[in-house]
Chain A
Amino acid sequence: AQKVTQAQTEISVVEKEDVTLDCVYETRDTTYYLFWYKQPPSGELVFLIRRNSFDEQNEISGRYSWNFQKSTSSFNFTITASQVVDSAVYFCALSDTGRRALTFGSGTRLQVQP
């Protein structure tokens, strides 16, 4: 069975601080896919990144970076030099060949204070 755990319910930082959002997943499949989505106050979910289980290369996109470690079943997301516009709820999600529909974590609410 699939499971995604985001243990951090809410994080509050001051602008320009770095922040890491944790995601731990469980799956029995050897082929699976991981995603991060952002849900700003407007409510619409915005796709940020996907990773497949065969690609452990970390990725950086501007101020965003992702650290995928199969050994610890984690797919953590770091925002460098956070900005107020980063304030949102961030969801980690998983799909695999057994359950193609995305299984979401409970989300982490990030508040960036000016």
Chain B
Amino acid sequence: GAGVSQSPSNKVTEKGKDVELRCDPISGHTALYWYRQRLGQGLEFLIYFQGNSAPDKSGLPSDRFSAERTGGSVSTLTIQRTQQEDSAVYLCASSTGHPNTEAFFGQGTRLTVV
């Protein structure tokens, strides 16, 4: 597609439920990133995929968070047993993979846990 696409754009879930957030990167981009942005805060790194390399999961805040990237393209971020502190905008970005290139961001998924 023309840009990074994320779905859903908004998600309201009950505490304790699992949620899946989807990201479609720009076609041909080998690097894919997930970030979390709490209200009024900066971007918190979650996970980074680069080609067939093992993902950098160092930013995942707990074992309730996981992500996968199938076929080197679409990625799904899963949050199990959601808690109220998980409420945030989850941003996905993709790039060509070289550290010198900019990342292109999607519009984000706003997750609200009630």
Which residues of A pack against B, CB within 8 Å? 32-33, 35, 37, 43-45, 47, 50, 52, 91, 95-97, 99-107
Contacts and interface: CB of A to CB of B under 8 A. Distances in A.
A24 to B, nearest CB: 14
A101 B48 contact: yes
24 contacts: A32-B99, A33-B100, A35-B102, A43-B108, A44-B105, A44-B107, A45-B93, A45-B105, A47-B103, A50-B101, A91-B42, A100-B31, A100-B50, A100-B56, A100-B99, A102-B33, A102-B93, A103-B45, A104-B35, A104-B45, A105-B42, A106-B42, A107-B41, A107-B42
Nearest to A35: B102
Contacts of A33: 99-100
B100 A99 contact: no
Contact of A43 (B31, B45, B50, B107): B107
B23 interface: no
Contacts of A37: 105
Q: How large is the interface on B (under 10, 10 to 19, 20 to 34, 35 or more residues)?
A: 20 to 34
B43 A104 contact: yes
B99 A97 contact: yes
Contact of A100 (B48, B89, B93): B48
Contacts of B59: 101
Given A45-B105, A47-B104, A96 B99 contact: yes
Given A91-B42, A102-B33, A104-B42, 19 more contacts: A33-B100, A37-B105, A43-B108, A44-B105, A45-B93, A45-B105, A50-B100, A91-B43, A95-B99, A96-B99, A99-B56, A100-B50, A100-B56, A100-B99, A101-B48, A102-B43, A102-B103, A105-B42, A107-B41
A91 B104 CA distance: 14
A111 B35 CA distance: 25
Among the interface residues A32, A45, A96, A106, which one has the most CB atoms of the partner chain B within 10 A? A45
Contact of A47 (B35, B102, B108): B102
A102 B15 CA distance: 30
Nearest to B3: A44
Nearest to B56: A101
